Structure 1
Amino acid sequence: MSVNTVEALNAISLLTVHGLITDTEGTDIPIVLHRTVPPLDLVPFLKLDEHFPPEDALGPFTPRPPSTLPERGDLHVQLILGEEKGWGRSSFVHEVARSKRRAEIAREAWFYDELECLQGVVLPRCYGWFEAELAEGQSLGPSTRATRRSSDSESSNPEWRFKKSKQLTEMSHSRSYVSVLLLEKMGGKLPIGVPLGDDLVKGIYDMYGEIAELGVDHRDIRYSNMLAAPQGPTILPSVPSPFTGRIYTHRMIDIESCEKTNGEAWLLTDWQASWVHSIVNNLPDGCIIEPWD
């Protein structure tokens, strides 16, 4: 079945993934992952200090909107690991996981819950965070090893990345878990070397303003994290924003680095707009500007 045909984001309780795990002989072992719900207190909020002018830039933390999901379902979905679509700091992406990055996946899952009302608006739909603990002799299969080596070489400092969260710090030391974040399949990246058009550019700016309404700062705005919304006859349609009523053509991904802050929406929108500006203004010239440039 296609996850795009599942209308309830919490309909799936179990995943069986084929092609991900092997035993000591290199034989594929189907692995069953259970849906895991991030606790509400998993991610500490980032309180911005009073040195940010003007005085009206800060306020109380915006509460999480109540979930509108129905009672949790009990679907068991079988998946076969497909073509690798990309990879980042915390995971690699296949069409259907990652060991040693359990805390990052958990943190991203928490933000999908925090921003539930914006799934299908400016975020992909997230069908859940699923985990399994590997038994002795089990390991990730050969199709994931090259990516795993590349990503494992990146430095990780739990004391910094997971500051003030005992749960995340403990997860960051887990080495025997496989975590899967099951997301809606997105479209392609923004075009390069051609004019983007005023409507598209405004939409890219404005979608970061949507998460700012909930006090969230993306913190990883880059070209590869802006993808077209999915399209097709079997795809769930985009839904209008609960804040503006707007329907967006694109989505932001890779939200594990987000921060929940006490910044007012206009402040967070301005901050994020400065990063968006450097990207969209250079794409027509064929240049991709990264945050570290």
Structure 2
Amino acid sequence: MSVNTALNAISALTIHGLITDTEGANIPMILHRTVAPLDLVPLLRLDEGAPPEVVYGPFIPRPPSTLPETGDLHVQLILGDEKGWGRSSFVHEVNVLPAATLPAHLPPLVLKVARSKRRAEIAREAWFYDELECLQGVVLPRCYGWFEAELAEGQSFSPSTRATGRSSDSEDSNPEWRFEDSKQLTEMSHSRNYVSVLLLEKMGGKLPIGVPLGDDLVKGIYDMYGEIAQLGVDHRDIRYSNMLAAPQGPATLPSLPSPFTGRIYTHRMIDIESCEKTNGEPSILTDWAASWIHSIVRNLPDGCIIEPWD
């Protein structure tokens, strides 16, 4: 193992502050690493029904993993302050309890927790972190694993979390239609008694508002979406809140150079659950992303946040 803990070194988590018993008392919950099957997310063919003058390439294969054998590290976490929330999940800072078994350095971390009806979305995001392993620490946060456990009778999410509350009018709707091409994801979309989480590197803040962004920063935002396009991946959820600064500080890990361009980026993209793996040429996918990015970055200096639905 290197001086930093490998992304697959952790086999289990004990989380304090997330689950309660029948009396409403917080109880520790043990979650085990889950591996997303290679066929979990169907690939999206963009050439079906396309005009003959439009040419798409073959699907780009997933690069081989460079990680060592899966480790057996068991990490205990205390749920900290909430960092954000959305339709399918909520995010909390976590504090790692000291243990003699921790062999190396873990950076500041957050826990992304699926809402009680949204296990399939976390599974899908875990698949894309595996697909884009070579870009973790480059344009994506480092992901230390997808972990799950089934709730026992009488156990439930703590009322202090957003696990069961509605984040939008569509929260109670069944998202099954989103997964109709995947039997595994469809079955997960009906799960109601699982705790499903991603353990992720903690990111920095959002892009500044009301000030010039600078040419280098703007170009970096455009280019980082071009990095995932090199693997045929389209983000599909490009918005202001999904662009965060790379972690900084003495406890953080350094940014890594891109395996494609050698560039070191100052920002990261998050929330990759809506990504699609396609047979689109990287230049096409990059151009699609650029149209969304343009609407965001050109309005930020004027103090205006443009959302996809605007």
The superposition leaves residues 135-168 of structure 1 with CA deviations (integer Å, 9 ceiling, x where unpaired) of 00000002114x6312375244444211210000
The residue aligned with 1:27 is 25
The residue aligned with 1:151 is 167
The residue aligned with 2:282 is 265
How far, CA to CA, are the matches of 1:55 and 1:7 in structure 2?
48
The superposition leaves residues 144-197 of structure 1 with CA deviations (integer Å, 9 ceiling, x where unpaired) of 14x631237524444421121000000000000001100000000000000000
The superposition leaves residues 217-245 of structure 1 with CA deviations (integer Å, 9 ceiling, x where unpaired) of 00000000000000111211000000000
The residue aligned with 1:59 is 57
How far, CA to CA, are the matches of 1:193 and 1:152 in structure 2?
28
1:51 Cα deviation after fit? 5.3
Q: 2:229 aligns with which of 204, 212, 227?
A: 212
Letter in 2 for 1:154: S
Extract unaligned runs of 5+ from structure 2: 95-112
Letter in 2 for 1:233: P
Letter in 1 for 2:145: G
Letter in 2 for 1:49: D
How far, CA to CA, are the matches of 1:53 and 1:210 in structure 2?
27
The residue aligned with 1:106 is 123
**More divergent stretch after superposition (113-122 vs 5-14):** 5-14
Q: Which has the higher helix share?
A: 1
**More divergent stretch after superposition (56-65 vs 10-19):** 56-65
The 3 A distance-change label for structure 1 pair 267 and 53 is farther
1:82 Cα deviation after fit? 0.4
How far, CA to CA, are the matches of 1:250 and 1:256 in structure 2?
18
How far, CA to CA, are the matches of 1:240 and 1:160 in structure 2?
38
The residue aligned with 1:254 is 271
How far, CA to CA, are the matches of 1:86 and 1:49 in structure 2?
37
1:88 Cα deviation after fit? 1.3
The residue aligned with 1:168 is 185
How far, CA to CA, are the matches of 1:179 and 1:86 in structure 2?
17
How far, CA to CA, are the matches of 1:241 and 1:32 in structure 2?
35
The residue aligned with 1:47 is 45
The residue aligned with 1:186 is 203
Contact 2:205 2:245 in 1 (8 A): yes
How far, CA to CA, are the matches of 1:269 and 1:188 in structure 2?
24
Task: Give secondary structure in 2 for the equivalent of 1:82.
Answer: strand
Letter in 2 for 1:89: R
How far, CA to CA, are the matches of 2:268 and 2:222 in structure 1?
11
How far, CA to CA, are the matches of 1:6 and 1:73 in structure 2?
13
The 3 A distance-change label for structure 1 pair 110 and 52 is same
RMSD of aligned alpha carbons: 1.5
Q: Give TM-score, length-normalised by structure 2.
A: 0.90
Extract unaligned runs of 5+ from structure 1: none
Stretches of 4+ aligned residues off by more than 6 angstroms = none
Aligned length: 288
Q: Percent identity?
A: 84
How far, CA to CA, are the matches of 1:75 and 1:50 in structure 2?
45
- The 5 A counterparts of 1:74-93 are 74-93=72-91
Contact 2:174 2:189 in 1 (8 A): no
1:284 Cα deviation after fit? 0.2
How far, CA to CA, are the matches of 2:149 and 2:75 in structure 1?
15
Q: Does 1:15 align with 2:32?
A: no
The superposition leaves residues 73-94 of structure 1 with CA deviations (integer Å, 9 ceiling, x where unpaired) of 1110000010000001221000
How far, CA to CA, are the matches of 1:206 and 1:30 in structure 2?
42
How far, CA to CA, are the matches of 1:116 and 1:22 in structure 2?
34
